[in-house]
Amino acid sequence: MQPKINFTPGPSQLYFTVEDHARRAFRDGIPSLSHRTKEFESISNDATGGLRELLSVPGDYHILFCASATEIWERVIQNLVEENSFHLVNGAFSNKFYETATQLRKQAGKHEAMPGEGFPEINISSTELIALTQNETSTGVSMPVNYLNSFRIKNPEALIVVDAVSSLPYPKFDYNNIDSVFFSVQKGFGLPAGLGVWMVNDRCIAKAENLLSKNIPIGSYHSLPTLVSMARKNQTPETPNVLGIYLLGKVVQDMLRRGIPIIRKETEYKSAILYQALSNHPHLKPLVHDDLWRSKTVLVASGGGQTEKITSFLQSRGMQAGDGYGSAKPYQLRFANFPAHSKEQYELLVDTLADYQG
Amino acid sequence: MQPKINFTPGPSQLYFTVEDHARRAFRDGIPSLSHRTKEFESISNDATGGLRELLSVPGDYHILFCASATEIWERVIQNLVEENSFHLVNGAFSNKFYETATQLRKQAGKHEAMPGEGFPEINISSTELIALTQNETSTGVSMPVNYLNSFRIKNPEALIVVDAVSSLPYPKFDYNNIDSVFFSVQKGFGLPAGLGVWMVNDRCIAKAENLLSKNIPIGSYHSLPTLVSMARKNQTPETPNVLGIYLLGKVVQDMLRRGIPIIRKETEYKSAILYQALSNHPHLKPLVHDDLWRSKTVLVASGGGQTEKITSFLQSRGMQAGDGYGSAKPYQLRFANFPAHSKEQYELLVDTLADYQG
C-alpha cells in the first residue's frame, strides 16, 4: 500500500478528480471507443481547447499528442534539426535531451552548469535549435521566464524549444519568444502516465517541411506535418491513449474552474513555506542556492546522512518524498509541488519535517 | 451512450474483467506509482511473464513495451533495416507498414494482392527484412501459420517480422520460423488503447547493433538495444503507460486461468457461426472468398447497398458493428471476434443478422 500523500515528482499524486473521471469513462465506454469517431474528436478537442485556455496558448500554436516527453525529445530533434542543436544542461534530464541529439547523429553543442545551479548569459554561435529545459526535474533548478525570453533577440534564426515537463501548468510563458513547449501529463497535471503534449508554432512546421523537401527523414507517423494534419481534424495518426486524452480534458476543465491564477498563487505559497522550512531545518537545506533559480514545482533538498531516516520518518506519517535522482538518492530528497498537492498537505509536510529530531 | 456490445475491430470491447482491475488499480495507487520502483518492476514482470506463458514465447525472445503498433512499424524499420525491406501488402495496414519504410528512406519492395485476397508463393530477391501482416485488419485476410513458416527456408538471411496486431492471442506461431511479432493491446486483449507489445529474438538485437556499429542512427530512447537493456531489468527507458502495463498483466492472468486452448476453440466456434450466417444471408457475404485465408478474428462482410441499414438495425438491437475500412465504409462491415466477445454475444449477433429483412 502506498502512503497516502505522494510527493514524488512523477508519476506523482493524482489530481483530486481523476479517479471519479476514470470511473465515469468506463461507464461511458471511453476505453473501447473507436478513435475514428466524432465522439473521439470531441474528446480530443476538449483537451486541446482546454489547454489552450488554461495555458493562454496563442492561435498559431498547434497542440499535439505523443506518448511521452521522452518521445518528444526525439521528435523535436528529428523534425527540427538538420545539422546542429544547442543545449543548456544542468542535470540528468537536460543532458538526456542533449544525448538524444547525439544519438540521432546531430552535431549537438552544450553549455553545462553544475547540477543545482542556474546559467549565466550565454552567447551561442549559430545554431538551428536551442533546447531549454525550463525545469530540471533531477535537481530542482528552474529557468525564470525572463531568462527564456532573452534567447530570441540574440538568436533570431534559431528555434527555441522549451521542456516544461515538470513545471506546467505553473509557468506563464511568453509564446512569442519561443517556438515550442512540451510536457507530460503525469507531473503537474496529476494524471496516469502514458501521454505527452507537444505544442509547436508554424515556424516549427516550416522547418520540418524544409527538411522533408531536402529528402531528410523526419520519421513516419509522428512526423510533425503528419501530426499537425491529423490534429487539425482533432485526430491522431495512430490509435492513441484515448483514456489518457479524455482524462486530460477533464482535469484541465477542473483546473479552469478552479482558476489558473489561484493554482499559481497556491503553488507559490506551498513552495515558499517548504523552502522556508528547509532553510530553517537542522538537517536539510535547499539544494539550489540562488532563490531566482529555485524551482517552485520540484523542490530539492540536501539531507546528507539523515536523508534515508527522513524518508522513513515521512513514510511513517503517511507521506512519500521523492528520492534524489540517480546517484544523489542517498543524500537528497525531492518534493513535487503540483496542483494535486493541497495547501493542507504542504502544511502537514512542513510541520512534519519540523517534528523530525534526527 | 454506446451500444452494449462492441464489435468494432479496435479499440474494441473491453475484456470482461478490465473495469474491476482498473478500479483496484486506482485503489492501490498504481496510476501514480513511480516507474523506478520494485513494485513497477514486478508489474512489468507479471505482464511479460504472463504473455510468455500465454503465447508460448521462447526464452530467446525479448518482450518490449512501446506506445502503439504504429510506433513498432517505425521501430522495426529503423532498427532492423539498413537498406531494404520487402512487404506483402493486401490492404490499408500492410500498406502503411510498407509506407513507413519509404518514409524512413529505405528501399522498400512490395508484392500486392487485391484487397480481400491471400498471397501466392512469392520469390523474394535478397532482402534484409520481410514484413508480414498476418492479419490485415482492413479486409479480414489472415495468413495461415504454415504460410508464414514458408519464408524462412527460402530466405534464411532475412529477418521475418510479423504484424499480429488484430489476431493475437489467437494464432499459434512457430517462433523458430520468424524473428519478431508485435501487437497492440486494444484489440485481442480487450484493453484501453495506448500500449504496443514488441517481441524480438536475438537476431534482431544483433542486427540493430550492427547498424549502430556502422554509425547508422537507430533512434534514441526506443532503439532496440536500449529497450532490451531496460527490459532485462523489467524497466522501460521512458515513463511508460504504467496503468496499461498493469491492466495487461491482469488480463493475461485472467486468460491463463481461462486457458488458451479454450480461448482458441471459442474463437473458432464464433468465427464459424458468423461466416456461416454471412454465407447464408440474403444481403451479406464474406469479403474473403478463400476459406483458408479468412481471418478468424476480424470478419469482414460485403453488404452492398444494405450496409448502412444493417448497421442501424444492429444498433437498434444494442450492437455496434465496425464500419468497412476507409472508402469501403458504405458497403462493408467488420466484426471483431476477440476473447472479449462471448459465445452468447456471437450467437445473438448471428440470430439478429438472420432477423434482418432488408
pLDDT for A167-186, tens place per residue? Answer: 999 999 999 999 999 999 99
Share of chain B above pLDDT 90, in %: 96
Half-sphere exposure of A168 (CA within 13 A, CB side): 26
Please report which confidence band the pLDDT of residue B357 belongs to, taking 50, 70 and 90 as the band edges. confident
A71 vs B contacts (CB less than 8 Å): 67, 221-222, 238
pLDDT in tens, B55-104: 999 999 999 999 999 999 999 999 999 999 999 999 999 999 999 999 99
Residues A70 and A81 in one domain: yes
Burial class (CB in 10 A: 0-12, 13-18, 19+), B334: buried
Same domain for A57 and A84, yes or no, is yes
H/E run at residue A141:
strand A141-142
Of A257, A281, A305, the residue that ends a domain is: A257
Q: Whole-angstrom Cα distance, residue B70 to residue A278?
A: 47
B275 is in which domain, residue-wise? 5-11+260-355
Residues A162, A191 within the same domain: yes
Residue at a domain's end among A202, A224, A257: A257
User: Half-sphere exposure of B163 toward its Cβ, with a 13 Å CA cutoff?
Assistant: 31
- Confidence at residue B155, expressed as pLDDT on a 0 to 100 scale: 97
Quote the minimal CA–CA distance from B192 to chain A in Å. 5
Q: Which residues of B touch A8 (CB under 8 A)?
A: 34
A315 in contact with B at a CB cutoff of 8 Å?
no
Each residue's pLDDT, cut to its tens digit, for chain A (358 residues) gives 455 899 999 789 999 999 999 999 999 999 999 998 999 999 999 999 999 999 999 999 999 999 999 999 999 999 999 999 999 999 999 999 999 999 999 999 999 999 899 999 999 989 999 999 999 999 999 999 999 999 999 999 999 999 999 999 999 999 999 999 999 999 999 999 999 999 999 999 999 999 999 999 999 999 999 999 999 999 999 999 999 999 999 999 999 999 999 999 999 999 999 999 999 999 999 999 999 999 999 999 999 999 999 999 999 999 999 999 999 999 999 999 999 999 999 999 999 999 998 8
Asked if A130 and A178 sit in the same domain, the reply is: yes
Which residue of chain B comes nearest to A193, CA vs CA? B241
Are residue A186 and residue A60 in the same domain, yes or no?
A: yes
pLDDT at B4: 80
Q: Write out pLDDT tens, residues B275-322.
A: 999 999 999 999 999 999 999 999 999 999 999 999 999 999 999 999
Which of B166, B238, B333 best tests the A interface by mutation, with the highest count of A CBs <10 A? B238
Q: Are A206 and A195 part of one and the same domain?
A: yes
Please state the domain count of chain A: 2
Which set of grid coordinates corresponds to residue B255?
A: 486468460
Question: Among the residues of chain A, which ranges form H helices?
Answer: 18-27, 38-54, 69-80, 92-103, 145-154, 202-213, 224-231, 242-258, 260-280, 307-316, 343-355
The verdict on A174 and A86 lying in the same domain is yes
Note the pLDDT of residue B218: 97
- Are residues B231 and B294 both part of a single domain? no
CA angle at residue B141 from B175 to B86, to 5 degrees?
Answer: 60
A237:B195 CB<8 A: no
Kindly state the average pLDDT of the residues B117-138. 96
- Chain B neighbors of A244, CB-CB under 8 A: 194, 241
Pair B169, B312 in one domain: no
CATH no. for residue A326?
Answer: 3.90.1150.10
Residues B311 and B237 in one domain: no
Q: Do the Cβ atoms of A240 and B6 come within 8 Å?
A: no
**CATH for A92:** 3.40.640.10
Q: What is the CA radius of gyration of chain A?
A: 20
Any domain includes A212: yes
- CB within 8 A of B277, min separation 6: which ones? B350, B353, B354
- Examine the pLDDT at B1 and tell me if it is beyond 60: no
- Residues A285 and A220 both lie in one domain: no
C-alpha cell at A24: 465515469
For residues A198 and A163, the answer to whether their CB atoms sit within 8 Å is no
For residue A222, give the chain B residue with the closest CA: B71
Round the CA-based radius of gyration of chain B to a whole number and report it.
20
Say whether B141 sits in a helix, a strand or coil: strand
Closest partner residue to B217 (CB to CB) among A104, A194, A222 is A104
Give long-range contacts, CB 8 A cutoff, 24+ apart: B328-332.
Answer: B328/B115, B328/B138, B331/B302, B331/B303, B331/B304, B331/B305, B331/B307, B332/B287, B332/B300, B332/B301, B332/B302, B332/B303, B332/B307
Residues B236 and B266 in one domain: no
Q: What is the DSSP string of B271-330?
A: HHHHHHHHHH-SS-EES---GGGB-SSEEEEE-GGGHHHHHHHHHHTTEEPEEPSGGGTT
Q: Is residue A4 part of a domain?
A: no
In a domain, A79, yes or no: yes
Q: Tell me whether residue A303 is in a domain.
A: yes
At B2 the pLDDT is 53
Which of residues A208, A230, A257 is at a domain's end? A257
Residue A274 lies in a domain: yes
CB distance from A2 to chain B under 8 Å?
yes
- Counted across chains A and B, CB pairs separated by less than 8 A come out at 180
